[in-house]
Amino acid sequence: MTRHDCLARDAVDALSPLRALFALDRLDAEGIVYLDGNSLGVLPRATPDRVREVVASEWGVGLIRSWNAAGWITLSQRIGDKIARLVGAGPGELVVADSTSINLFKVLSAAISMAKTDTPSRRRIVSERSNFPTDLYIADTLAREHGFELALMDDDEVGTAVDDRLAILLLTHVNYRTGRMHRMAEVSRAAHAAGALMVWDLAHSAGAVPVDLRASGVVDDAGDFAVGCGYKYLNGGPGAPGFAWAHPRHTARMDREQWRQPLSGWLGHAAPFEFTADYRPAPGMSRFICGTPPMLSLAALECGVDTVLAADAHGGITALRRKSVALTDVFIELVEWRCRGHGLRVVTPRDVTVRGSQVALAHDTGAYAMVQALIARGAIGDFRAPDILRFGFTPLYTRFVDVWDAVDRLRQILETGEWREPRFNVRAAVT
Amino acid sequence: MTRHDCLARDAVDALSPLRALFALDRLDAEGIVYLDGNSLGVLPRATPDRVREVVASEWGVGLIRSWNAAGWITLSQRIGDKIARLVGAGPGELVVADSTSINLFKVLSAAISMAKTDTPSRRRIVSERSNFPTDLYIADTLAREHGFELALMDDDEVGTAVDDRLAILLLTHVNYRTGRMHRMAEVSRAAHAAGALMVWDLAHSAGAVPVDLRASGVVDDAGDFAVGCGYKYLNGGPGAPGFAWAHPRHTARMDREQWRQPLSGWLGHAAPFEFTADYRPAPGMSRFICGTPPMLSLAALECGVDTVLAADAHGGITALRRKSVALTDVFIELVEWRCRGHGLRVVTPRDVTVRGSQVALAHDTGAYAMVQALIARGAIGDFRAPDILRFGFTPLYTRFVDVWDAVDRLRQILETGEWREPRFNVRAAVT
């Protein structure tokens, strides 16, 4: 394989027109290869003007009139409906609000509440030791508060933990460090067969890999609750709000039982502008909204989601997934061929059916410094403690030639040994 | 008093240069008087460029590098320090995060936790029936969960509720409907004398009236916890994040006891980028941060806070307060003189020592329609169910002539009776 081969693959890539949706001119001019869309997606070209419109016109001129005139009041639901299309959910089933962490607190509270009623003898939440820390912190806090036990397992032990003690299985679909992906329907089915509830974190999946939360209507294979992130593959911008989903059979029950989630804010009230002292939860998923959402960040998120929906005209998520697998395949192949002999190991599964849209490499001593040295050479990935070099591939804008160039630079910093320079070994506040 | 008198007062107003900090050109050109800065503050002139910079440069070009290079990682604390100066708190004592509702959940959780330890026989949270609904919903949820009772009182009964059953007194400094303001130090002192904790909601105070949370070092008169809103008098834009404060003696104790708030997210961890499975709360107030904050909205909030800090060169909060009192005095006087005989009552206290920066009028049947008719005539206030016409006065940009013009239009819609037209009586989604 040569750089020319990669350019040739880009030339015939049916998704390549989508790259024009992103503001990559400056990065391209500087020769920067960005492989960190799994941490923060690239700026869509439409976003600056849209945000400017919200700031200058909707806020600046419309002011409070924009709650009605600009549709602020239902923006969480409107964007939620768009994201729903990317994760196999239906209209009205998904809302955008707050952060992923806070949304997990809400849906996990719902799951615990249901488990207490339906399976009162079970007091066990199982998750993975390697899950994203916030998920574990939130689960731990809620478990302590409600008298549940949080049991953490290694990846390969989770299957054995699905037994008649299990109340809730909490998993992240694609692991943030390793990029390993769960077989969603299969795992949900196993949890349900054991009589447990299934909560999915889609932070590293939504917009990147096919997700079918409803399992095309097969209730046993469907998830029960899910949350996800707006600023990774959905390109919503730094700190974009997250989202929350519940299976409609659960929201129907919440409606019947007038169930309230603990973060009971005014905008999740059935009649928010009546300003009554008694809380009456809004119907369906809208009860999972709390306070006023950050409109500027919400507007940017919509632009980001629209970039993923634009792929519909080019084969949609199936085409995105095909390209994502090809990109990660090429990356792994090139690393193993061109960077061998420097102590790097490929951590992400070779089996593409359990691989997300990222590749993690491990190095015993140099992972942090290698990432810094790579960034200095204009190839941006990130470090994840203690030993991971992480590279994300966003098929909307990542090219095969980007993969070549990133590996080429990795090879350079390895062969020159420049990553050992002291300047690359000073830890910054954010690593 | 004449319109000319109002213009004359504006001509000698030492704060008048501050109005140039706001993007009011279009509203001025259209003859719109905006008296709703207590719902959503006006756009600062600096905000569009700053937001554009964050979007196009910090996000678009810097991407993940901006966590360090643009200071995203400590932005919540940096803006928090600025807001601290407006509410009598010290550096490091206040953080910006999430929404006001969610921040209330955090600090009220802390207060409940402390009360359980320190005053275990007390199980009573007292608030006002007329408090902002979200505050009551959050308090109700937490009270149920922790076996506390939430007792709601009328304004004038709160004093009598301060007894040896009281664990936590939760009040909003300036009432969102009536504009009535509590005497903060006096109420805090009474709560402390009774052995209870004092939680303040500053949504309608921060940036508008003098607030001295630390009571200049008099611990008995100081608050214990506080929250506030970024998009009212702080001019942070629609849905700007809120803030949370705790008295430093409490955060010192939280540090000693490694106390964790329930919304335990990764950015409130002592070492967020170690990504450890165990939660170790960040020291001080930083533990009250949860997930990644919405950077676009955060950047806009900083511009808004800066407009209030700009008043420091013109007499600061003392001068702002003096003008605010004068504006509300003139409004009340003009309404009573020019709008009499139409059934309007002034609800806001005449006593300026217990009046916030807004004036509420009540009308038994026409409040909603009158507000709509006023907006159609270019004077924007808002309606609060069931019978309130609410007008906010932001001394940074509200002029005396604005007060004249607003009352003049109110008089017109009353004398013509046009507010009775059907088009003003159709309820919109947001009222």
Shared domain check, B373 and B275: no
Residue of chain B minimizing CA distance to A143 = B262
Q: Tell me whether residues A273 and B430 touch, CB distance under 8 A.
A: yes
Cross-chain Cβ contact A385/B73 below 8 Å: no
Domain count across chain A: 2
Could you tell me the residue range of the domain that residue A123 belongs to?
71-307
Min Cα separation A31/chain B (Å): 12
CATH of the domain at B398: 3.90.1150.10
Provide the 3-class DSSP secondary structure of residue B242: strand
> Is A152 within 8 Å of A145 (Cβ atoms)?
no
Confidence (pLDDT) at A426 = 86
Cα–Cα distance for residue pair B401/B2, rounded to 1 Å: 10
**Same domain? A338 vs A417:** yes
Residue B236's closest chain A neighbor by CA? Answer: A294
Q: Distance (Å, rounded) from C-alpha B88 to C-alpha B210?
A: 8
Which residues of chain B lie closer than 8 angstroms to A101, CB-CB?
263, 265-266, 290-291
Smallest Cα distance from A233 to chain B, Å: 14
Contact assignment for B43 to A60 by CB distance below 8 Å: yes
CB contact under 8 A, A262 and B141: yes
Q: Are residues B105 and B213 in the same domain?
A: yes
| Integer CA distances (angstroms), B269 to A170, B3, B260, in order | 21, 57, 10
Residue B55 lies in a domain: no
The answer to whether A407 and A401 are in contact (CB under 8 A) is: no
Pick from B279, B307, B335: which residue ends a domain? Answer: B307
Pick from A72-76, A156-160, A170-174: least confident? A156-160
Contact residues, chain B, for A177 at CB < 8 Å? 275
**Per-residue model confidence (pLDDT) at position B273:** 83
Of A36, A63, A239, the CB nearest to B292: A239
The torsion region of residue A61 among left (phi > 0), alpha (psi -120 to 50) and beta comes to alpha
CATH number, domain of B238, equals 3.40.640.10
Residue A375 lies in a domain: yes
- Please count the residue pairs, one from chain A and one from chain B, whose beta carbons lie less than 8 angstroms apart: 269
User: Which pLDDT belongs to residue A414?
Assistant: 98
- Do B331 and B216 lie in one domain? The reply is no
pLDDT tens for B354-407 read: 999 999 999 999 999 999 999 999 999 999 989 999 999 999 999 999 999 999
Q: What is d(CA A210, CA B298) in angstroms, rounded to the nearest whole number?
A: 32
In chain B, pLDDT over 70 holds for what percent of residues? 99
Q: Are B361 and B383 in contact (CB under 8 A)?
A: no
Residues A300 and A407 in one domain: no
Q: What is the pLDDT of residue A60?
A: 98
Contact across the interface for B241 and A23, Cβ inside 8 Å: no
Chain A residue closest in CA terms to B294? A239
Supply the pLDDT for residue B144: 95
Based on the domain organization, do A153 and A198 belong to the same domain? yes
Say whether both B287 and B396 belong to one domain. no
Q: Quick check: A367 and A381 in contact, CB under 8 A?
A: no
pLDDT digits (tens, 9 = 90+) for B199-253: 999 999 999 999 999 999 999 999 999 999 999 999 999 999 999 999 999 999 9
Residue of A107, A261, A275 to mutate for B, most B C-beta atoms under 10 A: A275
pLDDT confidence band for B277 (50 / 70 / 90): confident
Exposed e or buried b per residue across A387-415, where buried means at least 16 C-beta atoms within 10 angstroms of its C-beta: bbbbbbbbbbbbbbbbbbbbbbbbbbbbe
Helix (H, G, I), strand (E, B) or coil at A260: coil
Instruction: Give the catalytic positions of A in this structure.
Output: 132, 201, 231-232, 390
Query: In this predicted model, what pLDDT tens digit does every residue of A178-217 receive, in sequence order?
Result: 999 999 999 999 999 999 999 999 999 999 999 999 999 9
B29-52: per-residue pLDDT in tens? Answer: 999 999 999 999 999 999 999 999
Interface probe with A: pick from B32, B34, B58, B59, most Cβ of A within 10 Å: B59
Domain boundary among A273, A289, A307: A307
In contact, B348 and B360? CB cutoff 8 Å: yes
Residue of B nearest to A27 (CA): B61
pLDDT digits (tens, 9 = 90+) for A35-45: 999 999 999 99
Q: Which of B372, B366, B378, B376 is nearest to B339 (CA)?
A: B366
User: Cβ A102–B382 below 8 Å, yes or no?
Assistant: no
Residue contact A266–B101, C-beta within 8 A? yes
